[in-house]
Structure 1
């Protein structure tokens, strides 16, 4: 019997060789195109420097502020506030989410109150926090902690409550202790949802810090932007916006790397099956 040729939708060796490179390049095409068009528009006079300075002018301003030491100092202060606030708020949200997700007693005692507070816009608490803590570091860190706590809490709580009951029954049938049941079944099953909360909290962290550093602050990237605005220094204002965008992108990459590391077992399971 004569065999008929069948079409196989596999990639050619050349396409296979270039696919990883294309995946690495594609995300940068649009940002680079925007920057080039922005620079061209400024160079040709289509865009006034008083409205939006050119990318080259912003870059030169960043170099000057780096050499003077002002940018590294304020950037390190902002990173300190953001990191400490995330650790405090995210840690508290994780603990509360685990407690309320695994204990019906804790859920009945705390969840309703937490949900009421969660629905209050945390930025609306700024006047109250200033009255309580003043305008020092603790006020800014506390505001970031409040903003990052609830995304981690709600996703941790939801992830734990959504664990398949059949998995829990299977664990109990193997006579697993409560600790083993949590570490081997509940936590791995809830981890994807927990990491979604962490990723969302990273975005809230920078948004909150921007606002916190523009109110009665004397340091930080937000303070630099506010101070530059008072002196109509558009290059520094745009530079601060670009820095926040870069920090947000780095945070997102960190979150993706964390997901790839902690959820590697999911990919391995799919590959083996």
Structure 2
């Protein structure tokens, strides 16, 4: 039995940090002029992937080492040098002294995320799809662009105006070290895509979306099962994902054996601080 404690939080946060750092490395490789980069401070990973990128923030702050004003000085300077906002996504398992320090430096809470997990075994049993013509699989090396386009078709209806960003971001994600992109096809036509990243026995499920014409066909369930089965076959013992508290994504995860490890808070340094 794996319990939600600081040890688990360190594994989960490090996995997500490594996944995002791999994306930053991929962007720096594919787009040398992007200035994409990351560094480690007090055990936390701080990433710059562009001023508007959701990856531009820190993960794991306060979990691996007690944070001092000097550490925050270094992190804030890193983001400000890139003209980027300063964000820290903080687990409640972090050292309690961090909350006082963030308040003293005029940070404000901005967003909540439920971090969910479930245990995996190699005999993980997949659920049978209700749509026989629906199949989910790991993409081939030459299908990176197809995967990115499929992902973008789903997200573009959820967040209008982000098509160009999501297409580029999808190609970068699929090209990242440790990434295993999956696609769901209905009668051979791609209708949904989802990401998988594996690090140190932990499988991170991320980025799943379904194109409008493919919804209500069970594509998300097929992607979930395929990714979990693959992760179990690779020796992963834990799967994780993030969701907005109380969202449909969280409910779907809980229906499939996930439970909440903790709820993170994203903190933002106030303008002018």
TM-score in terms of structure 1 length = 0.24
Relative contact order (C-alpha < 8 Å, sep 6+): which is higher? 2
Give the number of the structure whose residues are more often strand, by fraction.
Answer: 2
Larger Rg: 1
TM-score in terms of structure 2 length = 0.24
